[in-house]
Structure 1
């Protein structure tokens, strides 16, 4: 499987802007700017947010897959991600998960979370320290 996204940049670093085109998504027209840039009235993002969102969504989908394989359906999986950056180097990704899954014990849930962390394709590609804090409601 391959997934293609095209990033287009126009102008200089401080005043320029970029747009995304996703082959299999609705990224068409999403604007990206440097982290310090202010919103221009339309939805904007930056590479750090995109990386974080890719990790959080991949983790949620992987966990959902693992749960489904065990015959379990989550009511909700809400994952916040914090990308740690120092001197232009991404050092870590911390996933903070709050899950609503009826009828599952916490120790069983934590085992599924560990498997999802190990299987997440985006997390595996990052090659950084990954921490997962998981809370079952």
Structure 2
């Protein structure tokens, strides 16, 4: 399978005083605000690191659901939080925090599949940084 997705950005002004926006082909983001405040302080809008976190959480979680299904289980629920750390001008760490409910799977197999998903997820492979993963398998009643 081969496909291309696209997004666009526009910026006007200096890095600190200027502002811009980002849009995606799907229009889920349509002129979403970017600014110094949205990236480095608390402002309304988004920023590149937040968008990378969203892409990584989504890609990893979807990849894991495929692996779990291939192993013969059906995930009831998978929740992933991705935290992107920017330090001194570089993304130096991404932390993935996974919590899932999968009937019939052992904690060991869930951990193994999650680690594999972290390694083979296309966004993980794209990123040149340390990626850590914590895994919690929820007990089902």
- Please state which band the TM-score falls in when normalised by the shorter chain: 0.7 to 0.9
- Using the TM superposition, give the Cα deviation of residue 84 of structure 1 relative to its aligned residue in structure 2, in angstroms: 2.4
- Report the CA distance between 1:69 and its aligned residue: 2.0
What is aligned with 1:39? Answer: 43
- Residue in 1 that maps onto 2:114: 113
Instruction: State the match for 2:21 in structure 1.
Output: 19
**RMSD value over aligned CA atoms?**
1.6
Per-residue CA deviation, residues 72-123 of structure 1 (Å, 9 max, x unaligned), is: 2212211112222221011111101111112211011011101101111111
What SS is found at the alignment partner of 1:49?
A: helix
1:123 equivalent in alignment to 2:124: yes
Structure 1 segment 77-92 matched on structure 2, within 5 A: 77-92=78-93
Alignment of 1:45-124 (within 5 A): 45-124=46-125
Structure 1 residues not aligned, in runs of 5+: none
TM-score (norm. length: structure 1): 0.88
Take 2:26 and 2:65, find their aligned partners in 1: how far apart are those partners?
A: 21
Give the Cα separation in 1 of the matches to 2:46 and 2:71: 36
What corresponds to 1:5 in structure 2? 7
CA distance in 2, matches of 1:83, 1:100: 25
Shift in Å at residue 25 of structure 1? Answer: 4.5
Greater alpha carbon shift after TM alignment, 63-72 vs 45-54: 63-72
After superposition, the Cα gap between the structure-2 partners of 1:103 and 1:77, relative to the gap in structure 1 and judged at 3 Å, is same
